[in-house]
Structure 1
């Protein structure tokens, strides 16, 4: 039996037969890929690995071998227990684990790599096929447990069989897997299956952790498992690889059947062919004889001839209207350097064509032809004469990038200005024309991408077009409004007054509301009624008709319509003059006063008029009513509430509840000051005594642990902890519920109680007596005192203990009511029925005249403002674009410029490789390494030609653009822009100074910018291993004994600007070195295998298995040792750079 604690401490079982293998650190070299790839140059070195013969976790680590005839392992788990009396015991449970016959399919997500890759056509025949899994324990997860000291054999194996010998059956009913039929002699000997599987973990991460920890799920990113096929591959052969079970039970389970044994799935006595379910499968084909090492050794370092990368053009007959060059005139034969060209210097004869240019006169003729359309257009505009056909353009030779430059003619020196050089040099014009041809060839996919980038620009431009129409129409109406006077202008603008913003963000409507101008005057109805020719004004006299036009405004602006109103006599006050006019005899009779006292009484009343309560001032006290000094509001409320509380219920259950809930309230009210000495107070105290004693008799006190009891505890009242607790409880102890039959007045030990039995702590905790409360009872009767016939102070104190339990205390309320004075009540009531100033007219506030001018309103109504503000609320633009858009004198559509990040060398290579790097066929060897140079002038001219032509294509397709954009930014690099600035922002410098290979600007060397060195490899090695790594590394040793990395001196590698593969067998790698720098001392060209994945290889001398000549045998003790022995170390080959370059004569 296994202890559960022992199993829990080891998620992965200790590996007794563990072998560690490390890739040699001396072979580590930096990768040179883009940051977007899996590896980053100068940050990734070869990984240090550790292999394990097997990996088991959980209950599988504690399993025992199956009994005789069984096919499943078992595991017995022991759990320690403790009882309430302090004793200990253990409980055991035997569980049966899944076996190989229980698996019906495998989750495809568990397979993380297959090698050789599925569908590969040139796989190496010197490697071993294998499959990798995400879970490190998967190859042994369903294997039967092995005896002590024995190796666990995997329940899966990888078989590789020639495709011509394989047949596939349909998936059987009730199964999920295809069935493989393979000849018995093509399958490996399962006696060595323990060598074919191993687990792997990295040492680069969590190196301080033991291997079993790094194989656990906590370190899943750095661990995996792998099954290797021992098949010896042959060259130029198609194979099928299949993941199959290794036991008879596993085969039956994969076929959807039950039963079976743990015998091998095949052996000498098995049926031929063998039927096996395939949990995973793929196909691949090996290539011709030769692995990476053998193919790399075939490479020859060569110097590229001068002709490589150059095209020789005949520029002597440019075509009409330009004249042809004479035979002896220079510039007839010229050399065009392509994107990559040989740094080998020309011979004396070749040097003439290398630097040849047209005569100045012919160049000026070309300039004149380019400028002619612009000259004609300017002449027509200067004469004021329109062309005969206005929409017919004047066509001439193309001026590349004229829209980006913003000119219609070619000016400047071709030796100092890129624009003149691009358009006047024949070679540069040819390269720009290549960009035109490439765009025409790829126009459909380019436009598809451009439309996809447009987004909501089309919808925005539709809104802009409607806004343009609205602005045009509104401008016509605005011209008529501009002549109106301010009063008519305010009335016309009334419907928009809530949207017209004046100074300080105030709308016209809000300004009118706060001014002395009433809102009515801006309404259309008021304007129609008061118009000079209206029906109302026509009926007025002549003077009034003349003033009708100035009703709302005069020469100084809008009028002040404020009218001040005064309160009539008797509303807010009565003046002395009016009082003297009263008939004193009549008033005296009404007020029951003497005539002499009338005036004084009226003056007193009018002085109190604004304060309210006029009735109390005009009436004698005896008529209002004398104040009853014996009236006490507090006693009145006590009597009313007391009567209500003392009403008893006829229902016993309800009366019991009332006793608990209202008993404390009755006790508190009976002891209040307002009840003292009253009949209701005596009744309340008697009721409190009755309720108090009844609660004690009915419920009895709560018994605290270990304390004396005042009465029996009923079994139906369980004890529970109060609060949010409810955790562990110590076994035993004086804790209820208490059963009858114990000693009177004591608490018997009871059984432990816990709200959550799953959380019982068998070590126990102390019980807190102050946290116990009987469930369902609101009052702790243990603190009450039975009163009975007790009188005096003890009686009052006992009633007070009951009153302390009241949730709502009435005594403070009624006592505060008792302090209210009746005089205050009378005055408040008179104020309520006769408030002061009820009929008083509010004072008229002072308001300023509306300060708005015709110019302000006219400007606010300008369509150039209103329409654009409305449009800005409907479309969202970036801050930079919005600012430029607002500054335009008219509403203009948004111009879009699509962007393409594809390296355009690929498009040029698809169009014609001889324009990218011509002449590679001149090299004598088919497997070679050489060095070429980049051409910045070619790259810039080509990219400018692309953007120029694509602008025309966008216009033709109706794309919203001004054709001034820079649409293509990259020639070589997939990650970095190589155009240093937009074309329209190019400074007036030489062609080629506005681009940088890989986005890294090269240093200037006088008039010429040094090109970057490009390593070119053409070989079968590139075709079969397209992921090979090519670098320029500085030698730290001697030419005879090169050293690329030494202790304390890390490897010095040139930065890679781009690395591309030209189908089918050419690799080009640009480095951040000029050809001259690479030709200096110490630089070597290194070509190496990509170390991205672990591989396994055949030994130098094939060691065949005893019973299977097509499979590899081994005497290694376990899978970890076998994997370490067959681990493949990357190969690299180096060439001294000076042997590949000739820069001098």
Structure 2
């Protein structure tokens, strides 16, 4: 299986400063020594230069006291791991890309450069951590880490698609690990303080500074590739999935075979012998004693049908001991798991008691309300409205409560009139009504009276003359009205201006002056009619001089020429703006009376308890989920228990899950199929018991309910839930036998292909991905040499484990079609890993890197060869499934 990214490995990288180091000779302090030529040039005067060679020391391992916190970014395996694969390398990822070679007191030779830091892995006796930040390494672990080959133990990983952007630097340990062993990993310097190699193969022990340390435990022997490589495909034994049954009530014992929940592909149960069927029929006849009830054999259909013996599926329990035995297995499982099942049903019942209480209160309230409605409610609609008044504040509409819509604001009705206090105050009684006028306390009359809009107040108190009346009597136009009229129209009141022009005394003036006057005033009057601005104040100075004295002819001509020359200032817009601030109309007092008859009718219709479905029914029922189509009856529960019944079979009668599973050899892979008839019989037994148990525990179960309809726990990715295997038993057709497709849900229709593995692989790697993918067809025949299209994969619909080493995966596929598919296992991803030695299937070129280390003494070659690609194992379906039954 190809990795998601294409990787490249680099053996070493470090600063260009080492290019200035001419040789690998060290200073007494263990440092490399370099030099650079420096030339200084003087620009004034030009050409004045001085050159000098500057020697310098490069920081060496002896100068380093430790690593900063966070330098080690990632450890494999993580600290505390208890199941690390012994075939993989331990490694640590560092924050600095060049850190492993940054202080190496050596120069690179081609692709080879030993790091100054190394990762050493040993047992707790080989690696002893001391106080003070040191570690003592014994000879065994030193010999396993030959420093002459340490250039192989560090590399830089790069992403070919993004060079330089995703670089990772690692220190690896080449140590071959043992299974089930505790190890300690330490990061230590490979050179001592004077730059000399810290140990060699003959060193008995050495104590070094420890820069980082952690511990882990390896798993048992084998990794995913080795375990997967041991898998062997084979045809299932004909007896796998069948069990021998002896029927002992007759002599001699009748022998027969019965299929388990998983059975051979294409198999079927042989019909039961006639003498056995007759004996079972006799044993299952109910015993009737007129004096006392007699406990007989269970009736596996009584909870769903009046006469189960009249159905094809129920008749099997009256003649086939295998059906009764499987039903008995389910019945026993229901007894053994009754607390689990009852608790699950009780959780689903949830607030069943509270729901029943609400419904009881609802029905009692409906009865009382209907009686009061018929006997006590007034016939007159408005008197009814008075009765409903205190409730209007609790009646909600889309735009607020009814009370808010009909009272207050622009409504004449005050909200307090509908309060319960008002109802008490208006209630008939001597203390309240003895001195009242007739009808004064009648709620209906009060509502009608209060619903009238108030009469507008008079413009002047009685006995006083209003300014408008005075203007009318004297013939003077009220200035308020004139100003407001002009402001409202947005123009000068033309009729008033026209009267002033017509009333102008022209007699003192010559005809030519009068003609000029008429021409100018007509023009201004026409402009005023069109709403255009005019010099109103200049015109009024002619028509109504502020001095009250008539203009002489000379002054009149001057004023007219002023207007004629358009020198007059157009001021009407400013005057209208001023008038808008002076024109204050009376305050608006909107008043919208309520149609009391319509309101009373609408409220009565909304709360009438005598209709077929009063509103309070919907209001109460809407808060209860799961009621049937008779919501006012005491609620009953039909729980949908999301529990896979196959686990009951595994826990209490595992031999019947896959009879003969224990005979499978280690690393066997076989194919079988589900047995719908077994599933039907087993679930009938479980449900027979659980329905009785739930009723015994006073959990109200709906009649003909099938609480447990799930056997295999089929996953539904679309809904992220589990699909049922069977429909409710009451839906089974009378003419259908056990295992009929009519009993199954669409998700479980017909038998399914099941692949069974006996291997420790899934116990070690529980996240292993298993799926089917079709092989390319050539002329209708699978071409096993062609590359399959993995995008067309079929994932398991259910899976489980019979024992820790026997696991199965079920696929929603006709078992016969499995011959055209690959069975694929993919190694679960667990980050980047590196083999510590050659493994099965590794190419010769990669093997040579391990077998000839001196020829490949660089980190890039080792990282590339040791990189552990995730494995994909593929098994041909035709090797698992026979051609015919």
Normalised by the size of structure 2, how large is the TM-score? Answer: 0.64
SS at match of 1:1016: strand
1:154 aligns with 2:115: yes
> Matches of 1:233 and 1:115 in 2, distance apart?
16
SS at match of 2:77: strand
Identify unmatched segments of 5+ residues in structure 1: 1-27, 29-44, 250-259, 318-325, 377-387, 580-590, 592-598, 614-815, 1003-1008, 1102-1109
Of 290, 306, 314, which aligns to 1:409? Answer: 306
Structure 1 residue 397, shift from structure 2 partner = 6.3
Could you say which residue in structure 2 is the equivalent of 1:342? 264
Q: Name the CA shift for 1:314/1:568 in 2 (closer, same or farther; >3 Å).
A: same
Q: Name the CA shift for 1:287/1:60 in 2 (closer, same or farther; >3 Å).
A: farther
> Matches of 1:77 and 1:316 in 2, distance apart?
103
Of 480, 493, 509, which aligns to 2:372? Answer: 480
SS at match of 1:911: helix
Q: Deviations over 1:95-139 (max 9, x none)?
A: 998968343476598325339994339x56xx4533253869377
Of 91, 104, 120, which aligns to 2:83? Answer: 120
Q: Deviations over 1:559-583 (max 9, x none)?
A: 78648748669559999xxx9xxxx
Could you say which residue in structure 2 is the equivalent of 1:731? none
After superposing the two structures, state which structure 1 stretch, 911-920 or 1122-1131, moved more: 1122-1131
Instruction: Describe how 1:431-830 pairs up with structure 2 within 5 A.
Output: 431-435=326-330, 437-438=332-333, 441=336, 465=357, 469=361, 472=364, 476=368, 479-480=371-372, 482=374, 483-485=376-378, 486=381, 489-500=384-395, 507-508=402-403, 510-511=405-406, 522-524=418-420, 527-528=423-424, 530-535=426-431, 537-538=433-434, 552=444, 562=452, 565=455, 571=461, 603-604=473-474, 608=478, 611=481
SS at match of 2:11: coil
SS at match of 2:306: coil
Instruction: Describe how 1:47-126 pairs up with structure 2 within 5 A.
Output: 50-54=7-11, 56=13, 68-69=27-28, 101-104=64-67, 107=70, 110-111=73-74, 113-114=76-77, 118-120=81-83
> Matches of 1:474 and 1:409 in 2, distance apart?
36
Q: Name the CA shift for 1:240/1:512 in 2 (closer, same or farther; >3 Å).
A: closer
Instruction: Work out whether residues 1085 and 1136 of structure 1, in 8 Å CA contact, stay in contact via their aligned partners in 2.
Output: yes
Q: Deviations over 1:1097-1122 (max 9, x none)?
A: 53599xxxxxxxx9995431312223
Instruction: Work out whether residues 188 and 208 of structure 2, in 8 Å CA contact, stay in contact via their aligned partners in 1.
Output: no
> Matches of 1:821 and 1:202 in 2, distance apart?
79
Instruction: Describe how 1:876-915 pairs up with structure 2 within 5 A.
Output: 881=625, 888-889=631-632, 897=640, 899-900=642-643, 905-906=646-647, 908-915=649-656
> Matches of 1:984 and 1:442 in 2, distance apart?
21
Identify unmatched segments of 5+ residues in structure 2: 484-567, 841-849
Q: Name the CA shift for 1:103/1:907 in 2 (closer, same or farther; >3 Å).
A: farther
Instruction: Work out whether residues 670 and 757 of structure 2, in 8 Å CA contact, stay in contact via their aligned partners in 1.
Output: yes
Could you say which residue in structure 2 is the equivalent of 1:272? 205
Instruction: Work out whether residues 937 and 992 of structure 1, in 8 Å CA contact, stay in contact via their aligned partners in 2.
Output: yes
> Matches of 1:601 and 1:1098 in 2, distance apart?
120
Could you say which residue in structure 2 is the equivalent of 1:1098? 837
Structure 1 residue 929, shift from structure 2 partner = 4.0
> Matches of 2:578 and 2:791 in 1, distance apart?
104
Structure 1 residue 140, shift from structure 2 partner = 2.0
Structure 1 residue 193, shift from structure 2 partner = 0.5
1:200 aligns with 2:157: yes
Structure 1 residue 914, shift from structure 2 partner = 0.9
Of 236, 239, 242, which aligns to 1:307? Answer: 239
Structure 1 residue 242, shift from structure 2 partner = 1.5
Structure 1 residue 278, shift from structure 2 partner = 7.2
SS at match of 1:263: coil
> Matches of 2:201 and 2:191 in 1, distance apart?
14
SS at match of 2:149: helix
Q: Name the CA shift for 1:305/1:549 in 2 (closer, same or farther; >3 Å).
A: same
Q: Name the CA shift for 1:226/1:1026 in 2 (closer, same or farther; >3 Å).
A: farther
Q: Deviations over 1:309-357 (max 9, x none)?
A: 223445565xxxxxxxx6599xx655431122234869xxx9455x889
Instruction: Describe how 1:281-430 pairs up with structure 2 within 5 A.
Output: 281-284=214-217, 303-314=235-246, 335-343=257-265, 351-353=270-272, 359=277, 366=284, 407=304, 409-411=306-308, 414-415=311-312, 426-428=321-323, 430=325
Instruction: Work out whether residues 986 and 994 of structure 1, in 8 Å CA contact, stay in contact via their aligned partners in 2.
Output: no
> Matches of 2:27 and 2:129 in 1, distance apart?
34
Q: Name the CA shift for 1:869/1:142 in 2 (closer, same or farther; >3 Å).
A: farther
> Matches of 2:745 and 2:674 in 1, distance apart?
11
> Matches of 2:35 and 2:711 in 1, distance apart?
67
Q: Name the CA shift for 1:70/1:479 in 2 (closer, same or farther; >3 Å).
A: farther
Could you say which residue in structure 1 is the equivalent of 2:598? 851
Structure 1 residue 522, shift from structure 2 partner = 4.0
Instruction: Work out whether residues 612 and 837 of structure 1, in 8 Å CA contact, stay in contact via their aligned partners in 2.
Output: no
Structure 1 residue 916, shift from structure 2 partner = 1.3
> Matches of 1:827 and 1:1132 in 2, distance apart?
93
> Matches of 2:464 and 2:335 in 1, distance apart?
100
Instruction: Work out whether residues 237 and 286 of structure 1, in 8 Å CA contact, stay in contact via their aligned partners in 2.
Output: yes
Instruction: Work out whether residues 128 and 228 of structure 1, in 8 Å CA contact, stay in contact via their aligned partners in 2.
Output: no
Aligned residue pairs, count: 761
> Matches of 2:17 and 2:698 in 1, distance apart?
69
Instruction: Work out whether residues 234 and 668 of structure 2, in 8 Å CA contact, stay in contact via their aligned partners in 1.
Output: yes
> Matches of 2:727 and 2:744 in 1, distance apart?
16
Q: CA RMSD in A?
A: 6.6
> Matches of 1:1000 and 1:1114 in 2, distance apart?
61
Of 859, 869, 882, which aligns to 1:1119? Answer: 859
> Matches of 2:443 and 2:868 in 1, distance apart?
104
Structure 1 residue 238, shift from structure 2 partner = 3.3
> Matches of 1:1144 and 1:826 in 2, distance apart?
107
> Matches of 1:958 and 1:141 in 2, distance apart?
76
1:1065 aligns with 2:810: no
1:935 aligns with 2:830: no
SS at match of 1:409: coil
1:227 aligns with 2:172: yes
Of 964, 969, 979, which aligns to 2:724? Answer: 979
Structure 1 residue 227, shift from structure 2 partner = 1.1
Structure 1 residue 525, shift from structure 2 partner = 5.5
Q: Deviations over 1:1012-1047 (max 9, x none)?
A: 2x3434356777777777777878899xxx973447
Could you say which residue in structure 1 is the equivalent of 2:89? 129
Q: Deviations over 1:805-860 (max 9, x none)?
A: xxxxxxxxxxx99979999999999x79xx8879xx98987664443447843752
> Matches of 1:136 and 1:367 in 2, distance apart?
84
> Matches of 1:435 and 1:192 in 2, distance apart?
65
> Matches of 1:273 and 1:1051 in 2, distance apart?
53
Could you say which residue in structure 2 is the equivalent of 1:750? none
Structure 1 residue 507, shift from structure 2 partner = 1.0
1:244 aligns with 2:187: yes
> Matches of 2:880 and 2:282 in 1, distance apart?
42
Instruction: Work out whether residues 145 and 152 of structure 1, in 8 Å CA contact, stay in contact via their aligned partners in 2.
Output: no
SS at match of 2:856: coil
Structure 1 residue 1132, shift from structure 2 partner = 8.5
SS at match of 2:172: strand
> Matches of 1:410 and 1:344 in 2, distance apart?
32
Instruction: Work out whether residues 263 and 672 of structure 2, in 8 Å CA contact, stay in contact via their aligned partners in 1.
Output: yes
